[in-house]
Amino acid sequence: MSVIIPVGYGLAKVNVGIIGAEPYIFTFGFDGDVAEDPSADAAEIDTIMRAAGRPFVAANFSSQWSYRGVDVTRMTATGPTLGTSATTVVGSASLATAPPQVAMILAKHTARGGRMGRGRCFLPPIWIAENNLDASGIWATSNLTTVQAFFTSLLTALLASDCPPVLLHSDGSTPDAITSWTLEPACATQRRRMKR
C-alpha cells in the first residue's frame, strides 16, 4: 500500500545493491522544515547512515554488497521536490550473506495505538552471515543484537537531526513520530529481488 507525503514532510529512500540482483531500497518518512533543500536533507541522512556505529560503515556489512546513498522526496505546497546524496561504500566484512530475496524486517513503532501506529520496512540481509540464519528462518540472537545496536544508534541520531523519522499513512493524515524501531527475529522473503 502506498503512502501519501503531506506538505512539510519527506520520504527518504536508502539505496543498497548487490551484483546480479535488483537494487534494494528501504524507506522511512521524516518531518522537516518546508523550506529545507531536499539535497541538504539527503546529505544529512547519508552522513548519519555512515557514521561510526551505524549500519553503513564498511566494516559492518558484507563485502558482497554496497551502500549507494540516499534519495529524498520533500512535499511542498507546489508539489514534490527531489534531492540526492550519491555515495558508494563497499562493505568490507568477510561474510557470505543470504540470497537477496531474503530480508530482515524492521518494525517501526509510534505512540499511536493500533495498526495506524505501526509500520515496517524490509532491510537487505547484509549484516549477518547466511549460516547464522537457522532452518526455521530465525536470525541468531547475538548477531541480531549487534545489528539492532546499529539501528538504535541510527534512530537516536535521526531524532536529533533536522530529519526526525515519522510514519507516513496511506490516507494522507498527519504522520506519527517514530519512537522506536526493532528488528524482528524471523526473516522475510521478497521474490521480486531476484532478476527474471
Burial of 66 (0-12, 13-18, 19+ CB in 10 A): buried
Q: Does residue 158 lie within any of the structural domains? A: yes
Round to whole Å and give the CA distance between 42 and 105: 23
Which residue range is the domain that position 25 belongs to? 9-193
Q: Is residue 140 part of a domain?
A: yes
Q: Report yes or no on 117 lying in a domain.
A: yes
Residue 4 covered by a domain? no
Provide the residue-wise pLDDT of the chain in tens; the chain has 196 residues.
Answer: 588 999 999 999 999 998 777 789 999 999 986 567 899 999 999 999 999 999 999 999 999 999 999 999 999 889 999 999 999 999 999 999 998 889 999 999 999 988 889 999 999 999 999 999 999 999 999 999 999 999 999 999 999 999 999 999 999 899 999 999 999 999 998 766 555 5
Question: Please, how many CA atoms are within 13 Å of residue 153, restricted to the half-sphere of its CB?
Answer: 16
Specify whether the CB–CB gap between 2 and 170 falls below 8 A.
Answer: yes
CA 166 to chain centre: 12
Let me know if residue 1 belongs to a domain: no
pTM listed for this prediction: 0.92
Whole-angstrom distance, CA of residue 96 vs CA of residue 129 = 5
**How many domains would you assign to the chain?**
1
